[in-house]
Amino acid sequence: MAHSLKVVLRKKANANGTYPLAIRITVDRKSSYIHLGKNLRETEWDSLEQKVKKNHPNSSRLNSFIRQKLTEIDGKFIDLATQNKVISSNAVRKQVKTKQANSFFLFADASMDTMRRQGKYNRVNAEQPRINIFREFLDGKDIMFPEITVSLLNKFRAYLKGERHVSERTVMNYMILIRTLFNQAITDGMVDPKYYPFGKGKVRIKLPEANKIGLNADEVKLLETVDLSGKPAYWSHARNVWLVAFYFAGMRASDVLRLKHSDFQNDRLHYTMGKNAKAGSLKVPEKVLKIIAQYPKDGKHDLIFPELQVLDHFNDAYDVQRKIASAIKRLDVHMRKIAKLAGINKVLTMHIARHTFGNLSGDKIPIQLLQKLYRHTSITTTIGYQGNFVHKDADEALETVIGG
């Protein structure tokens, strides 16, 4: 019985302007569609060649995925013919969907694609390699959600520590990712909760406590005063970005790079945090004003710092996050060199500005005020974070026992 397969973009657009990618199965002039869990813009799809254009960041992988699905569907036709079963577009669709609904990697790929569309570069950049390594652990084979058992996850855990030599914290990050995808699949009704391999009596996820270390007051002074004359201009620039982050209560570097001159009004900074969209206002220290004065107004975006001035617009959130991540990586390299020059024997990165504020504030600032400064949604988060830097009670208890 003759049949045809064609890869198409469906006609109804999603809210974000993309279109669902599907395979149209036609048998005896009757058609059914299998949605592939991928969404594309019209400009990213070659309808004549039935393939993703090179202007899509994952064109090669998506085209390979499409070829794989076409081969799989063709195989279903052969299976049905061999079994002398009725062949129809719906019969083939049902067989493929049954497998697709339980496929961990198809679901994971769809999740990554959604996050790309949402502009979540940092999430994709961290999680896609973990998915790839889980696939390598399985020798490149697909796996159904019900096959991800406690036993398999324990073997994967041993593989990560024994073959990949990763830390316990990193192992937990892999487990958290798999658990998150499992939860999403259960919520979507794709997987029966009875197959869930996490929880009491199963795989337990417990993050080891991180040892957060910031600079002390003397080290901050060294950083502020170290002579960078004769050094490349970007060293001074890196220090400026770090200091602004520190002076504004450990502001995240990603938010510092987004600061605009117009955010500063009447000696106050008004900005919205990128991570949780919390808005707020802070008094601008004189030290910050002196730094900002070094940077002329950018006519295109009004940005203070130059890292994002190369962008034509900020409509592509994924590209913006990618530019920020790349910039922070470069700034971290410069900060490590400055630390060595200043005689600071700690690993100095942009994020350490946040730890440094936590370290110096200690228990001097009420926890509710720190929550406001950090822009934490929950005060529990603030208490847990600040606990890394408050040692007074423990120190005094030890002093009481052993003496001075």
The answer to whether residue 154 scores a pLDDT higher than 70 is: yes
CATH number of the domain encompassing residue 292? 1.10.443.10
Residue 379 lies in a domain: yes
Calculate the alpha carbon distances from 254 to 28, 258, 274, 288, 320 in Å: 56, 7, 8, 17, 10
Residue 120 lies in a domain: yes
Instruction: Give the tens place of pLDDT for each residue, 218-231.
Output: 999 999 999 999 99
Instruction: Give the tens place of pLDDT for each residue, 325-363.
Output: 999 999 999 999 999 999 999 989 998 888 888 777 766
CATH number of the domain encompassing residue 172? 1.10.150
Query: In terms of domains, do 110 and 83 share one?
Result: no
pLDDT of 327 reads 95
Residue 331 lies in a domain: yes
Query: In terms of domains, do 260 and 352 share one?
Result: yes
What integer best gives the mean pLDDT of the chain? 83
Residue 196 lies in a domain: yes
Query: In terms of domains, do 92 and 114 share one?
Result: no
Query: In terms of domains, do 170 and 290 share one?
Result: no
Q: Cα(66)–Cα(132) distance, rounded to whole angstroms?
A: 18
Query: In terms of domains, do 239 and 349 share one?
Result: yes
- Weakest mean pLDDT among 71-75, 169-173, 363-367, 389-393: 389-393
Query: In terms of domains, do 259 and 391 share one?
Result: yes
Query: In terms of domains, do 28 and 111 share one?
Result: no
- Pick left, alpha or beta for residue 268 (phi over 0 → left; psi -120 to 50 → alpha; otherwise beta): beta
The answer to whether residue 150 scores a pLDDT higher than 60 is: yes
- The domain boundary, picked from 44, 71, 100, lies at 100
Query: In terms of domains, do 204 and 242 share one?
Result: no
Give 267's pLDDT tier (boundaries 50, 70, 90): confident
Give 385's pLDDT tier (boundaries 50, 70, 90): low
Residue whose C-alpha is closest to residue 179's, from 229, 104, 243: 104
- The domain boundary, picked from 179, 208, 237, lies at 208
pLDDT above 70 covers what percent of the chain?
81
- The domain boundary, picked from 180, 208, 236, lies at 208
What is the torsion angle, in degrees rounded to the nearest 10, for the CA atoms of residue 132, residue 134, residue 138 and residue 139?
30
pLDDT of 276 reads 64
> Which amino acid does the sequence have at 324?
I
Residue 402 lies in a domain: no
Q: Residue 365: give the domain boundaries.
A: 217-396
pLDDT of 331 reads 96
Give 135's pLDDT tier (boundaries 50, 70, 90): very high
pLDDT of 365 reads 66
Query: In terms of domains, do 231 and 204 share one?
Result: no
Give 387's pLDDT tier (boundaries 50, 70, 90): low
Q: What is the DSSP letter of 346?
A: S
Residue 76 lies in a domain: yes
Q: What are phi and psi of 390, to 5 degrees?
A: -95, 110
Beta carbons within 8 Å of 170's beta carbon, 6+ residues apart: 160
Query: In terms of domains, do 138 and 261 share one?
Result: no
Query: In terms of domains, do 224 and 368 share one?
Result: yes
Pairwise pLDDT comparison (397 vs 215), residue with the higher score: 215
Number of domains in the chain: 3
Cβ-count burial of 225 within 10 angstroms (0-12 exposed, 13-18 middle, 19+ buried)?
exposed
Query: In terms of domains, do 132 and 187 share one?
Result: yes
Instruction: Give the tens place of pLDDT for each residue, 246-266.
Output: 898 888 899 999 999 999 888
* Other CB atoms within 10 A of residue 140 CB: 8
> Which amino acid does the sequence have at 102?
N
Residue 84 lies in a domain: yes
Question: How many Cα atoms are found within 13 Å in the side-chain-facing hemisphere of 145?
Answer: 27
Give 210's pLDDT tier (boundaries 50, 70, 90): low
Give 398's pLDDT tier (boundaries 50, 70, 90): very low
Residue 356 lies in a domain: yes
Contact 22, 36 (CB under 8 A): yes
Pairwise pLDDT comparison (372 vs 161), residue with the higher score: 161
The answer to whether residue 372 scores a pLDDT higher than 90 is: no
Q: Whole-model pTM?
A: 0.65
